[in-house]
A and B are shown apart, each in its own frame.
Chain A
Amino acid sequence: MNTDERGTVKVHPGVVRVTHWINVVAIAIMIGSGWRIWNSSPIFDFSFPVAATIGGDPATSQDVHNELGLAGALQWHFAGMWLLVVNGLVYLVYGIWSGHFRHALFPVSPSAFLRDALAALTFRLPHRLGVYNAVQKALYLGVLLAGIVMVLTGLSIWKPGQFQELAFVFGGYDTARLIHFLGMSAIVLFLVVHIALVIIVPKTLPAMITGRAAAHAPEILQESAG
């Protein structure tokens, strides 16, 4: 890694940072609108608080359309999907083509995962900016898989006729719908852990925004919770 004149080194590539933050917006749109779509016909007997959902003002929809804002939620969901997919493809193509995935996310062996998970639980896991530990690698690969499953199950329930083979792979319309919900739950769980880790190791945040961290700064090698 090269140190520049300000004494910082590059820890996250630009494409990764830009796609990451666009993805935050896309995921927020998909989850927020998805929750409202869920509310119109829940699989399990619970609803998400309308205030936490996206899709326009529900009171207006109630007055004007006699429904709780499903139309708006669907519009957001099927607009957000383009942002999610196009941005996701840029990230995936870049990650594979540039070798970023090979360097940053692989290899991740079960033994390394166990070692780092244990170290993390006993607050002895060192955190080096730009170098992910095995727990992080597993979490990131897991959420990327969840994202891919979400897009594929989403296509299955959007087009169970035109994409019937895909819907078949996911067990048909109803099962695909259930997996779509479980995938959302997995992503929300990931987010809870992900954001908790950022709060525990806050210096990772500016580095994910600027891409750079101070070279030889103690925190790069310093041990910290994470």
Chain B
Amino acid sequence: MSAIKDSKDVLRQGAVRTIERRAFLKQGLSLGALTLLTGCDVTDQDSVQTALNAISRWNDRVQATLFSNRLVPTYPESAAVKDFRSNQYYGEDAVPKIEGSSFKLGLSGLIDNRKPWTLPELYALPQTSQVTRHVCVEGWSMIGKWTGVPFRTFLERIGADLSAKYVGFECADGYYSSIDMASALHPQTLLTFKISDETLAPKYGYPLKLRVPTKLGFKNPKWITAMYVTNRFSGGFWEDRGYNWFSGI
């Protein structure tokens, strides 16, 4: 508000000067006042944040429209990094150490057969391997080899409602995330048990990590303990902290 008042004062001073000079000042000042006014808006945290969130939702929709079942590039096995980088929002020594023999994957939501799955049951499912690029939201990327069951196969096996909108995940470290059904059904989306041909080490998400090569790394939850199918949007750990929800690549 004060920007308008100040510029009016200055404009009044400008009026006593020569005609050309005033015309120049007027133009310059209205531009200046405009930037000051928008400056006011920029400091108004709430409305700016609301606008940015709305644009992020819009970007979700744009990405869902762009999304197709086309495969992301795959690489020769020799390109796969053995000592893969592991990211979590706490120190590496604090990663969950899950006891495999007593582990059960919990299922809920729009799923016909919600009986929990043990590891031997999961390992008995048809498995496949893929060498794809993991792209981190921070900007780095790394090629790795993952092995597991195509997620679509698993969703069909448990009788999930494939017309539902979302699949969500709960993880042993309190992390949670959710993805759109189209990405969940993508042929390269795997529920993985292995990285670099070895059972997932604790830091890589033992016993279960969802590999979604069509999405940024943080949309690839590790240490999955439960999953659900739903039509209700349920966000995610980083998504609720401002990161784009769809985060497709």
Chain A residues within 8 Å of B, Cβ to Cβ: 6, 21, 37-38, 40-41, 56, 64-67, 70-72, 74-76, 78-79, 82, 158-162, 164, 173-174, 177, 206, 209-210, 214
Q: Are A159 and B139 in contact (CB under 8 A)?
A: no
- Chain B residue with the shortest CB-CB distance to A40: B138
- Chain B residue with the shortest CB-CB distance to A76: B52
Q: Are B249 and A162 in contact (CB under 8 A)?
A: yes
> Would you give 28 A-B contacts (Cβ < 8 Å), ordered by A?
A6-B23, A21-B31, A56-B45, A67-B89, A72-B52, A74-B137, A74-B244, A75-B52, A75-B55, A75-B56, A75-B244, A76-B52, A79-B51, A160-B133, A160-B135, A161-B70, A161-B72, A161-B73, A161-B248, A162-B67, A162-B248, A173-B135, A177-B139, A206-B27, A206-B28, A209-B27, A209-B28, A210-B23
Bound complex: CA A161 to CA B59 (Å):
16
What are the residues of chain B within 8 A of A214 when measuring CB–CB?
20
Q: Are B249 and A161 in contact (CB under 8 A)?
A: yes
**Known contacts A162-B70, A173-B135, A206-B27; is A65 also within 8 Å of B241 by CB?**
yes
Across the interface, B66 reaches (CB within 8 A) one of A82, A160, A162, namely A162
**Known contacts A74-B244, A162-B248, A214-B20; is A209 also within 8 Å of B52 by CB?**
no
Q: Are B55 and A173 in contact (CB under 8 A)?
A: no
What are the residues of chain B within 8 A of A210 when measuring CB–CB?
23, 27
What are the residues of chain A within 8 A of B53 when measuring CB–CB?
75
Bound complex: CA A64 to CA B49 (Å):
15
What 4 additional pairs, Cβ within 8 angstroms, besides A67-B89, A177-B139?
A71-B241, A71-B242, A161-B72, A173-B135
Q: Are B56 and A164 in contact (CB under 8 A)?
A: no
Across the interface, A70 reaches (CB within 8 A) one of B31, B135, B137, namely B137
Residue among A67, A75, A177 facing the most chain B CB atoms (10 A cut-off): A75
Cβ-based interface call for B68 (8 A): yes
Taking the closest CB of chain A, its distance from the CB of B177, in whole angstroms, is 15
Q: Are A159 and B248 in contact (CB under 8 A)?
A: yes
Residue among A41, A66, A79, A164 facing the most chain B CB atoms (10 A cut-off): A79
- Chain A residue with the shortest CB-CB distance to B249: A161
Interface readout for B17-41 with A: 1 if CB under 8 Å, 0 if not?
Answer: 0001001100110010000000000
Across the interface, A41 reaches (CB within 8 A) one of B66, B133, B140, B241, namely B140
Bound complex: CA A71 to CA B242 (Å):
5
What are the residues of chain A within 8 A of B52 when measuring CB–CB?
72, 75-76, 79
Bound complex: CA A206 to CA B28 (Å):
7
Cβ-based interface call for B136 (8 A): yes
**Known contacts A40-B139, A173-B135; is A78 also within 8 Å of B20 by CB?**
no
Q: Are B249 and A79 in contact (CB under 8 A)?
A: no
Taking the closest CB of chain B, its distance from the CB of A179, in whole angstroms, is 14
Q: Are B238 and A71 in contact (CB under 8 A)?
A: yes
Cβ-based interface call for B213 (8 A): yes
Taking the closest CB of chain B, its distance from the CB of A14, in whole angstroms, is 13
Q: Are A173 and B214 in contact (CB under 8 A)?
A: no
**Known contacts A37-B139, A209-B27; is A78 also within 8 Å of B59 by CB?**
yes
Cβ-based interface call for B118 (8 A): no
Query: Nearest 7 A-B pairs (CB), nearest first?
Result: A71-B242, A41-B139, A161-B72, A41-B138, A79-B55, A75-B52, A40-B138
Bound complex: CA A38 to CA B139 (Å):
8
Across the interface, A64 reaches (CB within 8 A) one of B51, B135, B241, B243, namely B241
- Chain B residue with the shortest CB-CB distance to A205: B28
Q: Are B55 and A164 in contact (CB under 8 A)?
A: no
Q: Are B213 and A161 in contact (CB under 8 A)?
A: yes
Taking the closest CB of chain B, its distance from the CB of A81, in whole angstroms, is 9
